[in-house]
Amino acid sequence: MKIAIVDTLYPEFLSTWPPFETLSYNAELRKLMSAGFGTFDAYSHWLRGLGHEAIDLIGNFDALQKLWFSRYANTVTGKSQQEMVLYQIETFEPDCVFMQDLSFFDPQQLQLLASQYLLAGQTSCRLPDTDSVSKFQILFSSFPFYPELLRTYGVRCEYLPLAFDPRMTPMETERDIDISFVGGVGAASHWRQGTETLESVAAAFGERFNWFGYGLENLSEGSPLRICYRGNAWGRQQYAVYGRSKCVVNRHGEIARGYTNTLRVYEASGCGAMVFTEESPNLKTLFPGGCVQPYDSAEDLCERLHYALSHDGIREMIARSGQKHTLAVHNYAVRMRTVSDVLQECLQARTVSR
C-alpha cells in the first residue's frame, strides 16, 4: 500500500528552523523529521516497517515545498500551499492519503481526494466543519467519544490512543529538574483550568518548577508562572527536558472532556519521568497500577509532588514502571499495526464497491 501522510507544523516552530544546508529535498525533509516535532515521521517510519511505501508531506513549510518543486516540477508560481501538496500527491500516486491536519484542505479539495484515493486521517483536537469531516472514509481518534460522534457524520472512526516513539528515548542523564511542564498556557477557551493548576504548582514550588513552551503573553503580570518560564523546547529539546525531569505535570484542555489524551503523558513516561495527570475515566485503562499518577485538584497535585520529591526510591520505582509500560504498550510500532490493518480493510472495501 502507498500512503501519503500530510501534516502541518506549528508556525512558531518552523520560524526557528535554520536555512537549508543543502539543495536536496530528501535530505532536508529527513533533517526536519529527525527533529522530533509533533508526530514527525512516526507514522511513516513504522508503516514502512510493515512493508508499506509511505511518505511525509509538510503542507505549511513553504521553503521545503518550493525545494521539492525545484527538483521535481517546473514552477510553484501562483500555487497555494494546498495546490502544491495536491500536485505532490498526484505525482506520488498513493492508494491512501492520510491527513494529520483535517483542516488543511477545503471541502472541495477533500472531495477531489476522496474521489481518487482512500481518504483517511487522525484527529485529537477540535473537528473542522461538517462539510469537511464528512469527506473522510476513515478517521482515527484518541478521544474515546469521537467514534460515536463521527458516526453521526457518516464517517467510520476507530479509537486509537496516542503513543511514544522509542527512537526518542533520551540517553540516561542526571535528573536535575525537579518538576517540568512543556506546553502552552493561558488560552482561556481551551486551557483555563489547566493554566490555573500550573499556576498553583508554580506558586508552591517556585523555581523548582520549570515551564517550557508558549503563551507567556497570555498570563497576567502577577502570574507565578512567569518566574518559572525557561523558553521553548521543541522536538528533541522537549524529550531532553523529560529525560532530565524527576516529575512531569500534565494538564488537558476542556476539549478532552475529562479523558486522558495528550502526547505529553506518553512522551514523558516514555522518557522515564514520573508523570502526574488529572484523574479520568480512562487513565487506569491506559496506565494501570498507578504507573502514571492521578490528581483530582491543584492542592492534591502539589501534595503528591512534595511526596514524590521527598521519596526518591518510590518516585523512581513508579517512573520505571511507567516507562516500561509505555515502551511495551503505547509505542508507534503497536499503533501502526492497527492503522495498517484498518486501512487495508477499507481499501479492499473501496475496491470492491467500485
Considering the domain architecture, whether residues 152 and 9 belong to the same structural domain is answered as yes
Considering the domain architecture, whether residues 186 and 288 belong to the same structural domain is answered as yes
Domain range spanning residue 124?
Answer: 2-163+332-353
Say which residues have a Cβ less than 8 Å from residue 191's Cβ, sequence separation at least 6: 184, 185, 215, 251, 253, 254
Q: What is the DSSP letter of 105?
A: S
Q: Report the domain count for the chain.
A: 2
List the one residue out of 257, 249, 268, 260 whose CA is nearest residue 286: 260
State the pLDDT at residue 187.
Answer: 65
State the pLDDT at residue 76.
Answer: 66
Give the tens place of pLDDT for each residue, 19-71: 999 889 999 999 999 999 999 999 999 999 999 999 999 999 999 999 999 88
pLDDT band of 255, cuts 50, 70, 90: confident
Distances (CA, A) of 349 to 68, 200, 342: 33, 52, 11
What totals of helices (H) and strands (E) does the chain contain, helices first? Answer: 15, 11
Residue at 203: amino acid letter: A
Considering the domain architecture, whether residues 110 and 47 belong to the same structural domain is answered as yes
Residue at 191: amino acid letter: W
pLDDT band of 191, cuts 50, 70, 90: low
Provide the pairing of β-strand 177-184 with 293-295: unpaired
Give the tens place of pLDDT for each residue, 146-188: 999 999 999 999 999 999 999 999 988 999 999 999 999 976 5
Considering the domain architecture, whether residues 78 and 189 belong to the same structural domain is answered as no
Considering the domain architecture, whether residues 128 and 267 belong to the same structural domain is answered as no
Say which residues have a Cβ less than 8 Å from residue 44's Cβ, sequence separation at least 6: 3, 5, 54, 55, 56
pLDDT band of 125, cuts 50, 70, 90: confident
Whether the pLDDT of residue 222 is over 60: the answer is yes
Environment class of 279 (CB within 10 Å of its CB; exposed 0-12, middle 13-18, buried 19+):
middle
Whether the pLDDT of residue 229 is over 90: the answer is yes
pLDDT band of 321, cuts 50, 70, 90: very high
Whether the pLDDT of residue 228 is over 80: the answer is yes
State the pLDDT at residue 353.
Answer: 65
State the pLDDT at residue 190.
Answer: 54
Q: How far apart are CA 213 and CA 168, in angstroms?
A: 19
Provide the pairing of β-strand 156-159 with 274-278: unpaired
The percent of the chain in helix, strand and coil, each rounded to the nearest 5, is 50, 15, 35
CATH of the domain at 156: 3.40.50.2000
Considering the domain architecture, whether residues 149 and 199 belong to the same structural domain is answered as no
Considering the domain architecture, whether residues 174 and 245 belong to the same structural domain is answered as yes
Q: How far apart are CA 51 and CA 334, in angstroms?
A: 15
Provide the pairing of β-strand 53-58 with 245-249: unpaired
Is the overall model pTM greater than 0.75, yes or no? yes
Say which residues have a Cβ less than 8 Å from residue 300's Cβ, sequence separation at least 6: none
Considering the domain architecture, whether residues 106 and 239 belong to the same structural domain is answered as no
CB neighbourhood size of 319 (10 A) = 26
State the pLDDT at residue 354.
Answer: 61
Give the tens place of pLDDT for each residue, 270-320: 999 999 999 999 999 999 999 999 999 999 999 999 999 999 999 999 999
Percent with pLDDT over 70 in the chain: 96
Considering the domain architecture, whether residues 152 and 173 belong to the same structural domain is answered as no
Considering the domain architecture, whether residues 247 and 265 belong to the same structural domain is answered as yes
Q: Residue 157 in contact with residue 146, Cβ under 8 Å?
A: yes
Beta strands in the chain (DSSP E): 2-7, 53-58, 96-99, 118-123, 138-141, 156-159, 177-184, 209-214, 245-249, 274-278, 293-295
Considering the domain architecture, whether residues 318 and 341 belong to the same structural domain is answered as no
Section 244-265 average pLDDT? 93
Considering the domain architecture, whether residues 263 and 285 belong to the same structural domain is answered as yes
